[in-house]
Amino acid sequence: MTTTLTGGRAARRQTTRRIRPRRSPAVPLLLAVAAGAAGVLWLWWTNTPSLTGPGARILNAGRITGLLAGYLLALVVLQMARVPALERRVGSDRVARRHAASGRYTLCLVLAHVFLTMWGYALQAGGSLGDLVHRTTDTVNQLPDLGKAAVGTGLLLLVGLVSIGPVRRRMPYDTWYHVHLCTYAAVFLTFWHQIATGNDFAAAPAARCLWYGLYGAVTALVLWYRILTPIRLNLKHRLRVVAVVEEAPGIVSVLIGGRRLHRMGAQAGQFFRWRFLAPGLRCSSHPYSLSAAPRPELLRITVKAIGDHSARLRELAPGTRVWAEGPYGALTAARRSRGKVLLVAGGVGITPLRALFETLPGAPGDITLLYRAHSARDLALWDELTAIADERGARLMYAVDSPDGERPDISAASLRHRIPDIDRHDVFLCGPPGFARSVYEALREAGVPARRVHHESFEI
């Protein structure tokens, strides 16, 4: 049995028909971040006296690394506050990667701050580098709020450890996710010693107010978008499982009903974080893309069983309550800058592209979908894709392995052969990391500019 959701004319009417070249939103954001960092450096410089002796120089190096670590730590939390403007304009995958990079830089600065500060105190007290451990213990016991900061630093080290690639890949997602939440406790514990023991804030009340303002604004955004907004969304729309339908081997669609779902603000190509309130699933929250445009009373996700959580979705009973957070993601029609569009899907990456295939405005022949799968049996939602292509006059192509297992050719030459004017297309790409990387390289070689290859992947 397969689901059939067609008739996307209403959804297409909700999609913007005006095609505009996109400007990168990263430039003003990076300028704002750089301006903040420059302000931190200025604060340190104006409160730094003439440095005499190695102890003073090392101690002030510890001051600036601490100030920069505190500034970056606020940005680390901000990047995962799920602020819609950031998520939709930049993209969830890019925000997540910058969050990870910022976290690594922050942890390095925190460790440098601790080491340099304790070393500087030891030298000023007439000791040496060998007195570092003793001096650190005394300082933690004597200075206000430094004990809490030490605990917070330990939590940051724990989060950094479980985020290392090899460790992260061997750890269940839910365990990693819940350990990662310790970041909030670490930020709370380390914040207070910045105000209590930071000479820069003691000497500059205005700087102290700005620091409170920075952390207060980030806290407000986290509370609003990570807690209050999801509560409001779920109380308003009352989501429940309607049915679970097998689409292809190992792939199921979950139909989710509720009230006025078209007013959730979701667009084709976006995803939600879903929590199904069923035994064994209620403690897990996972991201899945919409595989059809939102209907007034129905949403749909299509999921491949690649882990414990996704494999158990086929067992969901109708009526199961659903808790959703979102919508997130920037793989939407807003990225389009040309009249012609090529959608390239690999495996279950068809889910957001199927929704875009249904809703992207275009004349007959403007929209093309290329679907890569191992076999014809693995072409999930194929009947729907065929019906959409017939209704819209769109092109639908597939690429599957030959009977002897040989992979189809998806190279620059084959793409140019199938779509001679491919360099004048926008391309939306979604699929497994290896597939996405190889197709991206083929598209670039075929003449498609990087700015017109749109993808969201947390590994590419």
- pLDDT tens digits for 14-64? 444 444 444 455 667 788 889 999 999 998 888 877 667 777 888 889 989
CATH number at residue 420: 3.40.50.80
pLDDT of residue 1: 44
Q: Which residues contact 209 (CB under 8 A, 6 or more apart)?
A: none
**Residue 287 domain flag:** no
Single residue among 182, 201, 231 that ends a domain in this structure = 231
pLDDT of residue 226: 93
Q: Identify the domain containing residue 86 by its residue range.
A: 48-231
pLDDT of residue 127: 62
Single residue among 185, 213, 231 that ends a domain in this structure = 231
Angle (CA) 283-288-291 rounded to 5° is 145
**Residue 317 domain flag:** no
Q: What percent of the chain has pLDDT over 70?
A: 89
Lowest pLDDT segment from 18-27, 263-272, 382-391: 18-27
341's enclosing H/E stretch is strand 340-346
pLDDT digits over 94-141, tens only? Answer: 888 889 899 999 999 999 998 888 888 777 776 655 566 666 676 666
Single residue among 231, 251, 268 that ends a domain in this structure = 231
Domain count, the chain: 2
**Residue 239 domain flag:** no
76 and 214 belong to one structural domain: yes
Residue whose tokens read 């497994």: 432
Backbone angles phi and psi of 114, in degrees to 5 = -60, -50
CA pseudo-torsion sign 53, 54, 59, 64? positive
Q: Are 419 and 425 in contact (CB under 8 A)?
A: yes
pLDDT of residue 26: 62
Task: Point out which residues pair with 419 in neighbouring strands.
Answer: none
Task: Look at residues 332, 336, 409, 337 and name the one whose alpha carbon lies nearest to residue 372.
Answer: 409
pLDDT of residue 126: 67
Lowest pLDDT segment from 46-55, 150-159, 351-360, 421-430: 46-55
225 and 342 belong to one structural domain: no
206 and 91 belong to one structural domain: yes
| Cα–Cα dist 258/364, whole Å | 34
| Cα–Cα dist 167/160, whole Å | 10
Q: Above 90 in pLDDT, residue 280?
A: no
For residues 435 and 56, which has the higher predicted lDDT (pLDDT)? Answer: 435
What does the pLDDT average to over 258-283? 91
**Residue 130 domain flag:** yes
- Sequence letter at residue 37: A
Which CA distances in Å does 400 have to 367, 370, 437? 21, 11, 18
- Under DSSP, the state recorded for 228 is I
pLDDT of residue 216: 96
Q: Are 255 and 314 in contact (CB under 8 A)?
A: no
pLDDT of residue 425: 95
**Residue 360 domain flag:** yes
pLDDT of residue 225: 94
**Residue 329 domain flag:** no
**Residue 248 domain flag:** no
| Cα–Cα dist 345/170, whole Å | 27
Q: Above 70 in pLDDT, residue 387?
A: yes
**Residue 188 domain flag:** yes
Residue whose tokens read 């304790």: 118
